[in-house]
Structure 1
Amino acid sequence: MNQTEQVRLMTDKMAKFVGYIGKKLPDDVIAKLSEMRKQETSPLAKTLYDTMFRNQELAVQLDRPSCQDTGVLQFWVKCGTRFPLIDDLEALLKEAVVKATFETPLRHNSVETFDEVNTKRNVGKGTPTVFWDIVPHSDQCEIYAYMAGGGCTLPGKAMVLMPGAGYEGVTKFVMDQMTSYGLNACPPLLVGVGVATSVETAALLSKKALMRPLGSHNDNPRAAAMETMLEDGINSIGLGPQGMSGKLSVMGVHIENTARHPSTIGVAVNVGCWSHRRGHVIFDKDLNATVTTHSGVQL
Protein backbone atom coordinates (compact mmCIF):
# COMPACT_ATOMS: atom_id res chain seq x y z
CA MET A 1 0.00 0.00 0.00
CA ASN A 2 1.49 3.34 -1.02
CA GLN A 3 1.35 6.56 1.01
CA THR A 4 -1.72 7.91 -0.77
CA GLU A 5 -3.64 4.70 -0.13
CA GLN A 6 -2.59 4.71 3.53
CA VAL A 7 -3.85 8.27 3.99
CA ARG A 8 -7.16 7.39 2.37
CA LEU A 9 -7.55 4.29 4.57
CA MET A 10 -6.92 6.17 7.83
CA THR A 11 -9.13 9.05 6.70
CA ASP A 12 -12.01 6.64 6.04
CA LYS A 13 -11.52 4.93 9.40
CA MET A 14 -11.47 8.22 11.31
CA ALA A 15 -14.56 9.50 9.45
CA LYS A 16 -16.40 6.33 10.44
CA PHE A 17 -15.16 6.68 14.02
CA VAL A 18 -16.24 10.31 14.30
CA GLY A 19 -19.69 9.46 12.99
CA TYR A 20 -20.01 6.51 15.36
CA ILE A 21 -19.22 8.45 18.54
CA GLY A 22 -21.93 10.93 17.60
CA LYS A 23 -24.50 8.12 17.74
CA LYS A 24 -23.28 5.85 20.54
CA LEU A 25 -21.95 6.85 23.94
CA PRO A 26 -18.80 5.23 25.38
CA ASP A 27 -19.20 2.09 27.48
CA ASP A 28 -18.11 3.80 30.71
CA VAL A 29 -20.62 6.63 30.27
CA ILE A 30 -23.49 4.20 29.65
CA ALA A 31 -22.47 2.18 32.72
CA LYS A 32 -22.29 5.30 34.90
CA LEU A 33 -25.65 6.62 33.72
CA SER A 34 -27.20 3.22 34.46
CA GLU A 35 -25.74 3.30 37.96
CA MET A 36 -27.02 6.84 38.56
CA ARG A 37 -30.49 6.03 37.27
CA LYS A 38 -30.83 3.29 39.90
CA GLN A 39 -30.05 5.75 42.71
CA GLU A 40 -32.72 8.28 41.82
CA THR A 41 -36.07 8.02 43.59
CA SER A 42 -38.16 10.90 42.24
CA PRO A 43 -40.52 10.08 39.33
CA LEU A 44 -39.27 13.07 37.30
CA ALA A 45 -35.59 12.07 37.63
CA LYS A 46 -36.39 8.48 36.69
CA THR A 47 -38.38 9.64 33.66
CA LEU A 48 -35.51 11.83 32.49
CA TYR A 49 -33.04 8.96 32.72
CA ASP A 50 -35.47 6.70 30.89
CA THR A 51 -35.66 9.31 28.14
CA MET A 52 -31.86 9.45 27.89
CA PHE A 53 -31.66 5.70 27.38
CA ARG A 54 -34.52 5.79 24.87
CA ASN A 55 -32.57 8.46 23.04
CA GLN A 56 -29.58 6.11 22.84
CA GLU A 57 -31.70 3.25 21.52
CA LEU A 58 -33.25 5.39 18.80
CA ALA A 59 -29.92 6.91 17.76
CA VAL A 60 -28.59 3.44 17.01
CA GLN A 61 -31.82 2.16 15.44
CA LEU A 62 -32.27 5.20 13.20
CA ASP A 63 -28.53 5.60 12.54
CA ARG A 64 -28.38 9.28 13.39
CA PRO A 65 -26.63 11.47 15.99
CA SER A 66 -28.04 11.25 19.51
CA CYS A 67 -27.87 15.05 19.97
CA GLN A 68 -28.51 17.73 17.39
CA ASP A 69 -25.42 19.64 18.53
CA THR A 70 -22.65 17.44 17.19
CA GLY A 71 -20.19 20.04 18.44
CA VAL A 72 -16.87 21.27 17.21
CA LEU A 73 -14.58 18.30 16.66
CA GLN A 74 -11.49 18.26 18.85
CA PHE A 75 -8.70 15.69 18.74
CA TRP A 76 -6.05 14.79 21.28
CA VAL A 77 -3.26 13.05 19.39
CA LYS A 78 -0.54 11.06 21.15
CA CYS A 79 1.61 10.13 18.20
CA GLY A 80 4.90 8.29 17.92
CA THR A 81 7.69 9.86 15.89
CA ARG A 82 7.88 6.63 13.85
CA PHE A 83 4.20 6.46 13.01
CA PRO A 84 4.13 6.31 9.18
CA LEU A 85 1.48 9.04 8.71
CA ILE A 86 2.62 11.56 11.30
CA ASP A 87 3.28 14.15 8.59
CA ASP A 88 -0.19 13.71 7.10
CA LEU A 89 -2.17 13.32 10.30
CA GLU A 90 -3.54 16.81 10.85
CA ALA A 91 -4.67 17.17 7.24
CA LEU A 92 -6.32 13.75 7.16
CA LEU A 93 -8.19 14.43 10.42
CA LYS A 94 -9.60 17.56 8.84
CA GLU A 95 -10.65 15.60 5.77
CA ALA A 96 -12.18 12.92 8.00
CA VAL A 97 -14.35 15.59 9.65
CA VAL A 98 -15.57 16.80 6.25
CA LYS A 99 -16.33 13.23 5.22
CA ALA A 100 -18.19 12.51 8.47
CA THR A 101 -20.14 15.76 8.14
CA PHE A 102 -21.87 14.51 5.00
CA GLU A 103 -21.97 10.79 5.73
CA THR A 104 -23.12 10.76 9.37
CA PRO A 105 -24.44 13.53 8.95
CA LEU A 106 -23.13 16.14 11.42
CA ARG A 107 -24.64 19.55 12.03
CA HIS A 108 -22.70 22.41 10.45
CA ASN A 109 -21.00 23.98 13.48
CA SER A 110 -17.92 25.75 12.15
CA VAL A 111 -18.46 29.49 11.69
CA GLU A 112 -15.59 31.70 10.59
CA THR A 113 -15.01 34.30 13.30
CA PHE A 114 -15.56 37.94 12.27
CA ASP A 115 -16.80 36.91 8.82
CA GLU A 116 -19.76 35.06 10.40
CA VAL A 117 -19.83 32.57 7.55
CA ASN A 118 -20.74 28.94 8.22
CA THR A 119 -18.38 26.77 6.19
CA LYS A 120 -21.04 23.99 6.05
CA ARG A 121 -18.22 21.43 6.24
CA ASN A 122 -17.38 21.59 9.98
CA VAL A 123 -13.88 22.79 9.19
CA GLY A 124 -12.43 26.28 9.14
CA LYS A 125 -9.53 28.31 10.45
CA GLY A 126 -8.24 26.22 13.36
CA THR A 127 -11.13 23.75 13.28
CA PRO A 128 -11.11 20.93 14.02
CA THR A 129 -8.72 21.56 16.90
CA VAL A 130 -5.79 19.15 17.18
CA PHE A 131 -3.73 18.94 20.38
CA TRP A 132 -0.44 17.08 20.10
CA ASP A 133 1.71 14.90 22.35
CA ILE A 134 4.77 13.49 20.60
CA VAL A 135 6.12 10.10 21.76
CA PRO A 136 9.76 9.42 20.86
CA HIS A 137 10.64 6.08 19.22
CA SER A 138 7.01 4.88 19.06
CA ASP A 139 5.34 3.71 15.84
CA GLN A 140 1.72 3.89 17.04
CA CYS A 141 -0.79 6.72 17.27
CA GLU A 142 -3.52 7.23 19.89
CA ILE A 143 -6.38 9.60 19.13
CA TYR A 144 -9.13 10.89 21.38
CA ALA A 145 -11.98 12.38 19.35
CA TYR A 146 -14.44 14.65 21.13
CA MET A 147 -17.58 16.50 20.11
CA ALA A 148 -17.38 19.75 22.08
CA GLY A 149 -20.91 21.11 22.30
CA GLY A 150 -22.04 24.71 22.60
CA GLY A 151 -23.89 24.19 25.88
CA CYS A 152 -21.38 22.15 27.83
CA THR A 153 -17.64 22.15 27.10
CA LEU A 154 -17.24 25.27 25.01
CA PRO A 155 -18.45 27.75 27.70
CA GLY A 156 -15.59 26.74 30.06
CA LYS A 157 -14.11 29.22 32.53
CA ALA A 158 -10.52 29.93 33.58
CA MET A 159 -8.65 32.43 35.71
CA VAL A 160 -5.46 32.86 37.72
CA LEU A 161 -5.80 33.03 41.50
CA MET A 162 -3.35 34.68 43.82
CA PRO A 163 -1.49 32.14 45.97
CA GLY A 164 -3.24 33.34 49.12
CA ALA A 165 -6.49 31.93 47.75
CA GLY A 166 -5.01 28.47 48.13
CA TYR A 167 -6.82 25.29 47.19
CA GLU A 168 -9.87 26.62 48.98
CA GLY A 169 -9.94 29.23 46.23
CA VAL A 170 -9.79 26.50 43.61
CA THR A 171 -12.74 24.78 45.27
CA LYS A 172 -14.74 28.01 45.43
CA PHE A 173 -14.05 28.71 41.75
CA VAL A 174 -15.27 25.26 40.71
CA MET A 175 -18.39 25.42 42.87
CA ASP A 176 -19.24 28.93 41.62
CA GLN A 177 -19.19 27.66 38.02
CA MET A 178 -21.29 24.62 38.82
CA THR A 179 -23.99 26.71 40.52
CA SER A 180 -24.16 29.09 37.55
CA TYR A 181 -23.59 27.60 34.10
CA GLY A 182 -23.73 23.98 35.28
CA LEU A 183 -27.51 24.09 34.95
CA ASN A 184 -27.26 24.88 31.24
CA ALA A 185 -24.92 22.03 30.36
CA CYS A 186 -27.40 19.10 30.42
CA PRO A 187 -26.52 17.31 33.69
CA PRO A 188 -25.41 14.88 34.92
CA LEU A 189 -22.02 16.33 34.08
CA LEU A 190 -18.45 15.17 33.85
CA VAL A 191 -16.40 17.98 35.38
CA GLY A 192 -12.84 18.58 34.23
CA VAL A 193 -10.66 20.80 36.40
CA GLY A 194 -7.21 22.06 35.44
CA VAL A 195 -4.84 23.40 38.08
CA ALA A 196 -1.62 24.80 36.68
CA THR A 197 0.54 27.88 36.37
CA SER A 198 -1.43 30.06 33.93
CA VAL A 199 -4.81 30.46 32.25
CA GLU A 200 -3.95 28.61 29.05
CA THR A 201 -2.26 25.64 30.74
CA ALA A 202 -5.11 25.22 33.22
CA ALA A 203 -7.72 25.50 30.45
CA LEU A 204 -6.08 22.83 28.30
CA LEU A 205 -5.74 20.49 31.27
CA SER A 206 -9.39 20.93 32.24
CA LYS A 207 -10.42 19.84 28.76
CA LYS A 208 -7.90 17.00 28.70
CA ALA A 209 -9.35 15.77 32.01
CA LEU A 210 -12.63 15.04 30.21
CA MET A 211 -10.87 12.41 28.09
CA ARG A 212 -10.03 10.26 31.12
CA PRO A 213 -12.09 7.11 31.79
CA LEU A 214 -14.87 7.55 34.34
CA GLY A 215 -13.82 6.29 37.75
CA SER A 216 -10.16 7.11 37.23
CA HIS A 217 -8.32 9.38 39.66
CA ASN A 218 -5.40 11.78 39.65
CA ASP A 219 -2.09 10.08 40.54
CA ASN A 220 -1.48 12.59 43.34
CA PRO A 221 -3.34 11.48 46.50
CA ARG A 222 -4.18 15.06 47.49
CA ALA A 223 -5.58 15.83 44.05
CA ALA A 224 -7.53 12.56 44.10
CA ALA A 225 -8.99 13.50 47.49
CA MET A 226 -10.04 16.88 46.07
CA GLU A 227 -11.75 15.10 43.15
CA THR A 228 -13.84 13.13 45.63
CA MET A 229 -14.66 16.18 47.76
CA LEU A 230 -15.70 18.23 44.74
CA GLU A 231 -17.85 15.38 43.44
CA ASP A 232 -19.62 15.14 46.80
CA GLY A 233 -20.03 18.92 46.94
CA ILE A 234 -21.47 19.27 43.44
CA ASN A 235 -23.80 16.32 43.99
CA SER A 236 -25.10 18.03 47.11
CA ILE A 237 -26.27 20.99 44.99
CA GLY A 238 -29.00 18.69 43.71
CA LEU A 239 -28.96 19.60 40.01
CA GLY A 240 -30.11 16.14 39.02
CA PRO A 241 -30.72 14.99 35.43
CA GLN A 242 -31.20 17.94 33.06
CA GLY A 243 -30.98 20.30 36.04
CA MET A 244 -34.49 19.34 37.15
CA SER A 245 -33.33 18.25 40.65
CA GLY A 246 -32.19 14.88 41.88
CA LYS A 247 -29.76 13.08 44.14
CA LEU A 248 -26.79 13.14 41.77
CA SER A 249 -25.45 15.93 39.58
CA VAL A 250 -22.14 14.64 38.19
CA MET A 251 -20.71 11.50 36.65
CA GLY A 252 -17.37 12.42 38.17
CA VAL A 253 -14.78 15.15 38.74
CA HIS A 254 -11.39 14.79 37.06
CA ILE A 255 -8.45 17.02 38.00
CA GLU A 256 -5.35 17.36 35.86
CA ASN A 257 -2.42 19.45 37.07
CA THR A 258 1.10 20.64 36.39
CA ALA A 259 3.67 22.35 38.57
CA ARG A 260 3.07 26.08 38.97
CA HIS A 261 4.82 29.37 39.63
CA PRO A 262 4.79 30.03 43.40
CA SER A 263 2.88 33.30 42.99
CA THR A 264 0.01 32.01 40.83
CA ILE A 265 -2.59 29.26 40.78
CA GLY A 266 -4.19 28.87 37.38
CA VAL A 267 -7.56 27.13 37.52
CA ALA A 268 -10.07 26.20 34.83
CA VAL A 269 -13.32 24.25 34.57
CA ASN A 270 -14.80 22.47 31.57
CA VAL A 271 -17.75 20.11 31.68
CA GLY A 272 -19.07 17.34 29.52
CA CYS A 273 -22.84 16.86 29.37
CA TRP A 274 -24.61 13.55 30.00
CA SER A 275 -24.22 12.83 26.28
CA HIS A 276 -20.44 12.77 26.64
CA ARG A 277 -19.40 11.95 23.09
CA ARG A 278 -15.77 11.06 23.17
CA GLY A 279 -13.89 8.10 21.78
CA HIS A 280 -10.40 6.66 21.92
CA VAL A 281 -8.74 4.71 19.11
CA ILE A 282 -5.20 3.36 18.74
CA PHE A 283 -3.57 2.84 15.34
CA ASP A 284 -0.51 0.62 14.89
CA LYS A 285 2.07 1.15 12.15
CA ASP A 286 -0.01 -0.96 9.74
CA LEU A 287 -3.09 1.21 10.45
CA ASN A 288 -4.94 -1.51 12.30
CA ALA A 289 -7.36 0.31 14.61
CA THR A 290 -8.30 -0.68 18.17
CA VAL A 291 -11.20 1.21 19.78
CA THR A 292 -10.95 1.19 23.58
CA THR A 293 -14.01 3.25 24.55
CA HIS A 294 -16.75 1.42 22.64
CA SER A 295 -17.02 -2.35 22.63
CA GLY A 296 -17.64 -4.25 19.41
CA VAL A 297 -16.57 -1.50 16.99
CA GLN A 298 -14.64 -2.42 13.86
CA LEU A 299 -13.11 0.36 11.77
Structure 2
Amino acid sequence: MNKNDAVKKMTEVMAKLVGYSGKVLPDDVYAKLEELGSKENSNLSKTIYNTMFENQKLAKDLNRPCCQDTGVLQFFVKCGTNFPLIGELEDLLREAVILATKEAPLRHNSVETFDEYNTGLNVGKGTPTVFWEIAPNSDSCEIYSYMAGGGCTLPGKAMVLMPGAGYEGVTRFVLDVMTSYGLNACPPLLVGVGVATSVETAALLSKKALMRPLGKNSENERAAKMEKLLEDGINSIGLGPQGMSGNYSVMGVHIENTARHPSTIGVAVNVGCWSHRKAHIIFDKDLNYTITSHKEANI
Protein backbone atom coordinates (compact mmCIF):
# COMPACT_ATOMS: atom_id res chain seq x y z
CA MET A 1 0.00 0.00 0.00
CA ASN A 2 1.47 3.38 -0.99
CA LYS A 3 1.45 6.27 1.48
CA ASN A 4 -1.49 8.11 -0.11
CA ASP A 5 -3.66 5.01 0.08
CA ALA A 6 -2.54 4.36 3.64
CA VAL A 7 -3.47 7.91 4.69
CA LYS A 8 -6.85 7.56 3.01
CA LYS A 9 -7.52 4.24 4.75
CA MET A 10 -6.58 5.47 8.23
CA THR A 11 -8.56 8.69 7.75
CA GLU A 12 -11.68 6.74 6.81
CA VAL A 13 -11.28 4.30 9.71
CA MET A 14 -10.90 7.14 12.22
CA ALA A 15 -13.86 9.04 10.75
CA LYS A 16 -16.07 5.96 11.08
CA LEU A 17 -14.85 5.33 14.64
CA VAL A 18 -15.56 8.92 15.67
CA GLY A 19 -19.03 8.78 14.17
CA TYR A 20 -19.76 5.39 15.72
CA SER A 21 -18.58 6.47 19.18
CA GLY A 22 -21.05 9.36 19.07
CA LYS A 23 -23.90 6.87 18.70
CA VAL A 24 -22.85 3.83 20.75
CA LEU A 25 -21.40 4.06 24.24
CA PRO A 26 -18.24 2.07 25.04
CA ASP A 27 -18.80 -1.35 26.57
CA ASP A 28 -17.47 -0.44 30.02
CA VAL A 29 -19.66 2.66 30.32
CA TYR A 30 -22.83 0.86 29.25
CA ALA A 31 -22.15 -1.99 31.68
CA LYS A 32 -21.58 0.47 34.52
CA LEU A 33 -24.83 2.28 33.78
CA GLU A 34 -26.67 -1.05 33.88
CA GLU A 35 -25.05 -1.82 37.23
CA LEU A 36 -25.91 1.55 38.78
CA GLY A 37 -29.43 1.54 37.36
CA SER A 38 -30.12 -1.84 38.96
CA LYS A 39 -29.06 -0.48 42.36
CA GLU A 40 -31.31 2.58 42.38
CA ASN A 41 -34.54 2.10 44.28
CA SER A 42 -36.62 5.21 43.59
CA ASN A 43 -39.15 5.23 40.76
CA LEU A 44 -37.72 8.52 39.43
CA SER A 45 -34.16 7.16 39.26
CA LYS A 46 -35.33 3.96 37.56
CA THR A 47 -37.35 5.97 35.03
CA ILE A 48 -34.32 8.11 34.18
CA TYR A 49 -32.10 5.06 33.65
CA ASN A 50 -34.78 3.41 31.51
CA THR A 51 -34.85 6.58 29.41
CA MET A 52 -31.08 6.49 29.06
CA PHE A 53 -31.17 2.91 27.76
CA GLU A 54 -34.04 3.71 25.41
CA ASN A 55 -32.00 6.63 24.13
CA GLN A 56 -29.08 4.30 23.44
CA LYS A 57 -31.30 1.84 21.59
CA LEU A 58 -32.83 4.53 19.40
CA ALA A 59 -29.43 6.08 18.62
CA LYS A 60 -28.17 2.70 17.43
CA ASP A 61 -31.35 1.74 15.56
CA LEU A 62 -31.75 5.13 13.86
CA ASN A 63 -28.00 5.62 13.32
CA ARG A 64 -27.98 9.02 15.03
CA PRO A 65 -25.80 10.57 17.73
CA CYS A 66 -27.02 9.66 21.22
CA CYS A 67 -26.56 13.24 22.41
CA GLN A 68 -27.15 16.39 20.38
CA ASP A 69 -23.91 17.86 21.77
CA THR A 70 -21.25 15.83 19.99
CA GLY A 71 -18.57 17.94 21.62
CA VAL A 72 -15.15 19.10 20.53
CA LEU A 73 -13.01 16.18 19.37
CA GLN A 74 -9.88 15.36 21.33
CA PHE A 75 -7.35 12.63 20.55
CA PHE A 76 -4.84 11.04 22.92
CA VAL A 77 -2.16 9.48 20.74
CA LYS A 78 0.59 7.09 21.76
CA CYS A 79 2.56 6.67 18.56
CA GLY A 80 5.64 4.60 17.91
CA THR A 81 8.62 6.34 16.33
CA ASN A 82 8.55 3.72 13.56
CA PHE A 83 4.85 3.98 12.78
CA PRO A 84 4.75 4.70 9.02
CA LEU A 85 2.21 7.57 9.21
CA ILE A 86 3.56 9.41 12.23
CA GLY A 87 4.25 12.50 10.13
CA GLU A 88 0.78 12.52 8.59
CA LEU A 89 -1.18 11.72 11.75
CA GLU A 90 -2.30 15.19 12.85
CA ASP A 91 -3.49 16.15 9.38
CA LEU A 92 -5.37 12.90 8.83
CA LEU A 93 -7.09 13.16 12.23
CA ARG A 94 -8.25 16.63 11.27
CA GLU A 95 -9.59 15.31 7.98
CA ALA A 96 -11.25 12.42 9.83
CA VAL A 97 -13.15 14.91 11.99
CA ILE A 98 -14.33 16.82 8.91
CA LEU A 99 -15.45 13.58 7.29
CA ALA A 100 -17.24 12.40 10.45
CA THR A 101 -18.96 15.78 10.79
CA LYS A 102 -20.49 15.37 7.35
CA GLU A 103 -21.26 11.66 7.46
CA ALA A 104 -22.24 10.89 11.09
CA PRO A 105 -23.35 13.74 11.23
CA LEU A 106 -21.86 15.72 14.12
CA ARG A 107 -23.09 19.04 15.44
CA HIS A 108 -20.87 21.98 14.50
CA ASN A 109 -19.05 22.83 17.73
CA SER A 110 -15.85 24.62 16.75
CA VAL A 111 -16.17 28.39 17.23
CA GLU A 112 -13.11 30.53 16.54
CA THR A 113 -12.28 32.38 19.76
CA PHE A 114 -12.43 36.21 19.53
CA ASP A 115 -13.54 36.05 15.88
CA GLU A 116 -16.78 34.38 17.04
CA TYR A 117 -17.77 32.35 14.02
CA ASN A 118 -18.52 28.66 13.71
CA THR A 119 -16.33 26.90 11.17
CA GLY A 120 -19.09 24.42 10.39
CA LEU A 121 -16.57 21.56 10.19
CA ASN A 122 -15.68 20.88 13.85
CA VAL A 123 -12.12 22.00 13.12
CA GLY A 124 -10.46 25.31 13.83
CA LYS A 125 -7.38 26.76 15.46
CA GLY A 126 -6.18 23.96 17.73
CA THR A 127 -9.23 21.75 17.14
CA PRO A 128 -9.35 18.86 17.14
CA THR A 129 -6.82 18.75 19.97
CA VAL A 130 -4.13 16.08 19.69
CA PHE A 131 -2.20 15.11 22.82
CA TRP A 132 0.98 13.24 21.92
CA GLU A 133 3.00 10.52 23.60
CA ILE A 134 5.93 9.09 21.64
CA ALA A 135 6.83 5.40 22.06
CA PRO A 136 10.49 4.72 21.11
CA ASN A 137 11.29 1.68 18.94
CA SER A 138 7.62 0.89 18.29
CA ASP A 139 5.78 0.66 14.98
CA SER A 140 2.22 0.73 16.36
CA CYS A 141 -0.15 3.62 17.08
CA GLU A 142 -2.68 3.72 19.90
CA ILE A 143 -5.44 6.36 19.82
CA TYR A 144 -8.18 7.38 22.23
CA SER A 145 -10.84 9.65 20.73
CA TYR A 146 -13.09 11.67 23.01
CA MET A 147 -16.09 13.93 22.47
CA ALA A 148 -15.74 16.74 25.03
CA GLY A 149 -19.26 18.12 25.34
CA GLY A 150 -20.11 21.48 26.82
CA GLY A 151 -21.90 20.15 29.89
CA CYS A 152 -19.13 17.79 30.98
CA THR A 153 -16.50 20.45 30.26
CA LEU A 154 -18.11 23.08 32.52
CA PRO A 155 -16.94 21.53 35.83
CA GLY A 156 -13.30 21.51 34.68
CA LYS A 157 -11.08 23.28 37.18
CA ALA A 158 -7.41 23.36 38.20
CA MET A 159 -5.32 25.12 40.81
CA VAL A 160 -2.10 24.81 42.78
CA LEU A 161 -2.41 24.11 46.50
CA MET A 162 0.03 25.09 49.21
CA PRO A 163 1.93 21.97 50.34
CA GLY A 164 0.41 22.28 53.81
CA ALA A 165 -3.02 21.61 52.31
CA GLY A 166 -1.94 18.02 51.83
CA TYR A 167 -4.12 15.33 50.34
CA GLU A 168 -6.99 16.58 52.48
CA GLY A 169 -6.78 19.72 50.36
CA VAL A 170 -6.99 17.62 47.20
CA THR A 171 -10.12 15.93 48.57
CA ARG A 172 -11.69 19.26 49.52
CA PHE A 173 -10.95 20.67 46.06
CA VAL A 174 -12.58 17.73 44.27
CA LEU A 175 -15.68 17.80 46.49
CA ASP A 176 -16.01 21.57 46.10
CA VAL A 177 -16.01 21.20 42.31
CA MET A 178 -18.55 18.38 42.39
CA THR A 179 -20.96 20.14 44.74
CA SER A 180 -20.72 23.37 42.75
CA TYR A 181 -20.77 22.16 39.13
CA GLY A 182 -21.54 18.44 39.10
CA LEU A 183 -25.18 19.01 38.21
CA ASN A 184 -24.17 20.70 34.94
CA ALA A 185 -22.51 17.57 33.59
CA CYS A 186 -25.43 15.07 33.49
CA PRO A 187 -24.67 12.53 36.23
CA PRO A 188 -23.73 9.80 36.89
CA LEU A 189 -20.29 11.15 36.12
CA LEU A 190 -16.85 9.74 35.54
CA VAL A 191 -14.54 11.99 37.57
CA GLY A 192 -10.93 12.42 36.46
CA VAL A 193 -8.47 13.87 38.96
CA GLY A 194 -4.91 14.91 38.18
CA VAL A 195 -2.30 15.49 40.88
CA ALA A 196 1.05 16.92 39.85
CA THR A 197 3.12 20.10 40.21
CA SER A 198 1.30 22.75 38.17
CA VAL A 199 -2.10 23.53 36.69
CA GLU A 200 -1.22 22.41 33.16
CA THR A 201 0.29 19.07 34.18
CA ALA A 202 -2.55 18.30 36.58
CA ALA A 203 -5.19 19.31 34.03
CA LEU A 204 -3.81 17.03 31.32
CA LEU A 205 -3.61 14.12 33.77
CA SER A 206 -7.22 14.67 34.86
CA LYS A 207 -8.39 14.41 31.25
CA LYS A 208 -6.22 11.34 30.57
CA ALA A 209 -7.79 9.75 33.64
CA LEU A 210 -11.12 9.77 31.80
CA MET A 211 -9.69 7.43 29.16
CA ARG A 212 -8.91 4.69 31.66
CA PRO A 213 -11.36 1.76 31.46
CA LEU A 214 -13.98 1.76 34.20
CA GLY A 215 -13.22 -0.68 36.98
CA LYS A 216 -9.46 -0.32 36.62
CA ASN A 217 -7.96 1.31 39.71
CA SER A 218 -4.84 3.42 39.96
CA GLU A 219 -1.64 1.40 40.06
CA ASN A 220 -0.61 3.36 43.16
CA GLU A 221 -2.16 1.75 46.24
CA ARG A 222 -2.67 5.05 48.08
CA ALA A 223 -4.16 6.73 45.02
CA ALA A 224 -6.52 3.77 44.55
CA LYS A 225 -7.67 4.16 48.16
CA MET A 226 -8.34 7.86 47.56
CA GLU A 227 -10.33 6.97 44.42
CA LYS A 228 -12.63 4.79 46.52
CA LEU A 229 -12.98 7.37 49.27
CA LEU A 230 -13.82 10.12 46.78
CA GLU A 231 -16.29 7.86 44.97
CA ASP A 232 -18.08 7.12 48.24
CA GLY A 233 -18.00 10.78 49.25
CA ILE A 234 -19.44 12.08 45.97
CA ASN A 235 -22.10 9.36 45.94
CA SER A 236 -23.15 10.44 49.43
CA ILE A 237 -23.97 13.92 48.05
CA GLY A 238 -26.97 12.29 46.39
CA LEU A 239 -26.91 13.92 42.95
CA GLY A 240 -28.25 10.76 41.34
CA PRO A 241 -28.99 10.26 37.64
CA GLN A 242 -29.34 13.59 35.79
CA GLY A 243 -28.98 15.35 39.16
CA MET A 244 -32.52 14.37 40.16
CA SER A 245 -31.37 12.64 43.38
CA GLY A 246 -30.35 9.05 43.88
CA ASN A 247 -27.88 6.69 45.51
CA TYR A 248 -25.15 6.97 42.87
CA SER A 249 -23.71 10.19 41.50
CA VAL A 250 -20.60 8.81 39.79
CA MET A 251 -19.57 5.89 37.61
CA GLY A 252 -16.14 6.11 39.18
CA VAL A 253 -13.24 8.34 40.21
CA HIS A 254 -9.92 7.96 38.39
CA ILE A 255 -6.74 9.60 39.69
CA GLU A 256 -3.59 10.04 37.60
CA ASN A 257 -0.44 11.52 39.09
CA THR A 258 3.18 12.38 38.45
CA ALA A 259 5.97 13.29 40.84
CA ARG A 260 5.72 16.90 42.00
CA HIS A 261 7.74 19.76 43.37
CA PRO A 262 7.89 19.52 47.20
CA SER A 263 6.49 23.04 47.59
CA THR A 264 3.34 22.62 45.49
CA ILE A 265 0.42 20.31 44.87
CA GLY A 266 -1.19 20.90 41.50
CA VAL A 267 -4.69 19.43 41.30
CA ALA A 268 -7.31 19.39 38.55
CA VAL A 269 -10.72 17.89 37.88
CA ASN A 270 -12.32 16.94 34.57
CA VAL A 271 -15.51 14.93 34.25
CA GLY A 272 -17.28 12.78 31.72
CA CYS A 273 -21.09 12.76 31.60
CA TRP A 274 -23.18 9.57 31.67
CA SER A 275 -22.94 9.59 27.87
CA HIS A 276 -19.16 9.21 28.06
CA ARG A 277 -18.19 8.98 24.38
CA LYS A 278 -14.65 7.69 24.23
CA ALA A 279 -13.21 5.15 21.81
CA HIS A 280 -9.93 3.24 21.73
CA ILE A 281 -8.18 1.81 18.69
CA ILE A 282 -4.72 0.33 18.05
CA PHE A 283 -3.09 0.23 14.58
CA ASP A 284 -0.10 -1.87 13.61
CA LYS A 285 2.42 -0.83 10.96
CA ASP A 286 0.27 -2.36 8.20
CA LEU A 287 -2.83 -0.48 9.45
CA ASN A 288 -4.50 -3.59 10.75
CA TYR A 289 -6.44 -2.38 13.74
CA THR A 290 -8.19 -3.49 16.91
CA ILE A 291 -11.00 -1.54 18.58
CA THR A 292 -10.95 -2.36 22.29
CA SER A 293 -13.66 0.01 23.54
CA HIS A 294 -16.56 -1.30 21.44
CA LYS A 295 -16.52 -5.06 20.88
CA GLU A 296 -19.46 -4.97 18.49
CA ALA A 297 -18.04 -2.19 16.34
CA ASN A 298 -17.95 -3.20 12.69
CA ILE A 299 -15.90 -0.50 11.01
Asked if Structure 1 and Structure 2 have the same fold, meaning a TM-score greater than 0.5 normalized by the shorter chain, the answer is yes
Structure 1 spans left out of the alignment, 5+ residues: none
SS at match of 1:121: coil
Q: Does 1:286 align with 2:283?
A: no
Q: How does 1:1-150 map to 2 (within 5 A)?
A: 1-150=1-150
Equivalence for 1:269? 269
Deviation at 1:298, TM superposition (A): 2.9
Render the CA deviation track for 1:108-167: whole Å, top value 9, x for unaligned: 000000000100000000000000000001010000000000010354000000000000
Deviations 1:72-110 (A, max 9, x none): 000000000010000000000000000000000000000
Counterpart Cα distance in 1 of 2:198 and 2:118: 32
Q: Which residue of 1 aligns with 2:201?
A: 201
Q: Relative to 1, partners in 2 of residues 1:7 and 1:102: Cα closer, same or farther, differing over 3 Å?
A: same
- How many residues end up aligned between the 2 structures? 299
For the residues of structure 2 that align with 1:137 and 1:83, how far apart are their CA atoms?
Answer: 9
TM-score by length of 2: 0.99
Is the CA contact (8 Å cut-off) linking 2:154 and 2:181 kept in structure 1? no
Aligned to 2:231: 231
Structure 2: 5+ residue stretches without partners: none
* SS of alignment partner, residue 64 of structure 1: coil
How far residue 213 of structure 1 moved from its aligned partner, in angstroms, is 0.2
Does the 8 Å CA contact 1:199/1:267 hold for their aligned counterparts? yes
Partners of 1:148 and 1:154 within 8 A in 2: no
Counting aligned pairs with the same residue, the percent is 77
**1:297 to partner: Cα distance:** 1.7
**Residue identity matched to 2:125:** K
Note if 1:250 corresponds to 2:250.
yes
TM-score normalized by structure 1? 0.99
Deviation of 1:59 after TM superposition, in Å, equals 0.1
Q: Structure 1's 232 and 256: CA in aligned 2 closer, same or farther, altered over 3 A?
A: same
- Which of structure 1's runs of 4+ aligned residues deviate more than 2 A? none
| Contact 2:147-2:277 within 8 A present in 1 as well | yes
1:190 and 1:153 mapped to 2: Cα distance?
Answer: 12
Q: Secondary structure at the match of 1:73?
A: strand
The one-letter amino acid paired with 2:208 is K
